[in-house]
Amino acid sequence: MTLFYDKYSSALYGVILRIVKKEEIAEDVLQESLVKIWHSFQSYDASKGRLFTWVLNVSRNLAIDKIRSRQYRVGSRTQPIEESAALRQAATPTFRPEHIGLQEMTTKLAPEQKQIIDLLYFGGFTQSEVAEELNLPLGTVKTRARAAIKVLAKLIR
Amino acid sequence: MNTQEYIESGILEEYALGVLDEAQRADVERLAAQYPEIRQELDLIQHGLDSYAQAHTQEPPAGMRERVLAGWQAAIHQGATTSATELPIAPVAETVVRPISSAPQEEIAPSGFNWMMAASVALLVLSAAANLILYNRWKESETQLVALQADQTRVASTMQAVEKRLSTRTQELAVLRSEQFKAVELAGTPAAPQAKARVLYNTATKAVYVDVRNLPTLPQGKQYQLWAMDKGKPVDAGMLAAATTAGDSLQLMKNVANAEAFAMTVEPEGGSENPTMETMTVIGRF
């Protein structure tokens, strides 16, 4: 687990912090994630996807559960994501080949695409909630989300 | 089935984002298992999102590694002892992102924070109780200490007095046993036939001690005075203290250079220059 921590903690912590926005809560969630990963490891099915995807989703779901369980959203919803503490700290440079810089990614994404991805992926919003939040038709939200992910997928193609 | 159309539909993107319901998700997984091109596309999409997530990589703060790993260890050990039979947690793929309306407003399961809060309060209460008990004990001890200190002071002063008396007695005994001292018995004169006293005279150091055996009680304002007779002349050898007169102890008198006899007279308090011969009570010579 120590090896696991050293390999994944930075990425998981970054995502969790992005979602919960508070460092001490991010630490709690990271720990809960490790416990959950440990206990449910046998349910990981390699044929369904990469380990990293699975691990990431465990942590992301826990983090989203966390912000939904608290009265959290009231305050953070109005806070623009770009101003959250997570973004003010520069991402640590790493040398993983699969790691594409945030800067590069965001320049490839249109602002409205990025906004939707962030709400869906880091905000724990459903698509209809995003539509409500942004005052857009649900169809538009879906189209933009798909387009955004296609862009991301293309980046690593 | 037209897999290209399915891929174009965008459902794979929604799957990767985790916004599909359970039935839809199962459907996607089934098709992905069935058609390699769907699998491939899905992997690509997930990989893309992973990269996006990874782009947010952030080095955890210092010290967190130890805390998190320790917490993890504690949690899995606790889990192993209390609920070894606990069912494995449902596969992550089935974890549903609940809509807000169904999300609990208040946390039902106590989080780590709440546990810590409860533990802190419990510790605070325990600490307060312990403080109260210790404060009371401390007060008690302080009272006892004061009492013991008073006691100790009393014992010490008693001890000092005893010590002093002992040293006096030892000195007296030394005088009595010393061969350097010559004893002169002073017998009562016709004025006081019962009177009896003794003078111890050290011819080397010229020290004079008086040891009273029996002397008549004196009227108010009078005191016995010891005289040494040197070549027929009386020399003042000092006044007898009340305790000495009562026969309580030896008394060191003034040094006398030379003497062939000693005598005591009754004089006004403080003594006289010359003896009042009529009041001579005892006399004795070597």
pLDDT means over runs of 10, chain A (157 residues)? 78 84 84 84 78 85 81 50 46 46 71 83 82 86 83 76
Inter-chain CB proximity A98 and B48 less than 8 Å: no
Domains of chain A: 1-89 (1.10.1740.10), 96-157 (1.10.10.10)
At residue B83, the pLDDT reads 47
ipTM of the complex: 0.70
Indicate if the pLDDT at residue B128 is higher than 60: yes
Cross-chain residue pair A149–B17, CB shorter than 8 Å: yes
Given A25, A66, A68, which is nearest B100 (Cβ)? A68
Task: Determine whether the interchain pair B57/A10 forms a contact, defined as Cβ–Cβ distance below 8 Å.
Answer: yes
What is the spatial order of strands in the sheet that B282-285 belongs to? B233-239, B222-230, B261-268, B282-285, B181-188, B196-202, B208-214, B251-253
DSSP per residue, B78-127: HHHHH-TTPPPPPPGGG-----GGGS-SS-SS--HHHHHHHHHHHHHHHH
Which chain B residues contact residue A145 at CB under 8 A?
A: 10, 13-14, 17, 19
Percent of chain B surpassing pLDDT 90? 23
pLDDT band at B79 (very low <50, low <70, confident <90, very high): low
Q: Which residues of A touch B110 (CB under 8 A)?
A: none
A 10 A CB-CB count for A129 gives: 17
Q: What integer is the mean pLDDT of B92-121?
A: 65
Number of H helices, E strands in chain B: 7, 8
Q: What is the pLDDT of residue B166?
A: 93
pLDDT at B130: 96
**What is residue B226's predicted lDDT score, i.e. its pLDDT?**
92
Per-residue pLDDT tens digits for B209-266: 998 888 888 888 889 999 998 888 888 989 998 888 888 888 889 888 888 889 999 9
Instruction: Supply the pLDDT for residue B154.
Output: 95
In the predicted model, is pLDDT for residue B46 greater than 90? no
Residue partners of B256: CB distance under 8 A and separation at least 6: B201, B206, B208, B228, B230, B235, B237
Q: Which of B154, B243, B163, B251 is nearest to B210 (CA)?
A: B251
| Residue A36 to residue A52: CA distance in whole angstroms | 15
Cα–Cα distance, A92 to A14 (Å, whole number): 10
Quote the tokens at residue A27: 């630490």
pLDDT band at residue B87 using 50, 70 and 90 as cut-offs: very low
**Under DSSP, is residue B274 helix (H, G, I), strand (E, B) or coil?**
coil
Give pLDDT, residue B109. 56
Q: Nearest residue of A to residue B12 by CA position?
A: A146
Region of residue B238 (left: phi > 0; alpha: psi -120 to 50; beta: else) = left
Cβ distance A10 to B10 less than 8 Å, yes or no, reads no
Report residue B101 CA to chain centroid gap. 63
Chain A residue with minimum CA distance to B85: A39
Distance (Å) of CA B76 to CA A37, A52, B51, B55, B84:
11, 22, 30, 30, 10
Burial of residue A36 (number of CB atoms within 10 Å: 0-12, 13-18, 19+): buried
Residue A94's pLDDT is what? 44
Using an 8 Å CB-CB cutoff, list chain B residues near A149. Answer: 13, 16-17, 45, 48-49
pLDDT at B99: 54
* pLDDT higher than 50, residue B202: yes
Inter-chain touch A31–B71, beta carbons under 8 Å: yes
If you average pLDDT over residues B192-210, what whole number do you get? 88
d(CA A61, CA B278): 126
Average the pLDDT over B78-95 and give the result. 51
Q: What is the pLDDT of residue A141?
A: 85
Picking from A69, A84, A122, A144 by the largest number of B CB atoms within 10 A of its own CB, the best residue to mutate is: A69
State whether B54 and A68 contact (CB < 8 Å). no
- Residue bearing the bigger pLDDT, B1 or B201: B201
Measure the CA angle with vertex B40, ends B54 and A116; round to 5°.
45
Q: Which residues of B touch A105 (CB under 8 A)?
A: 51-52, 55
Are A99 and B57 in contact (CB < 8 Å)? yes
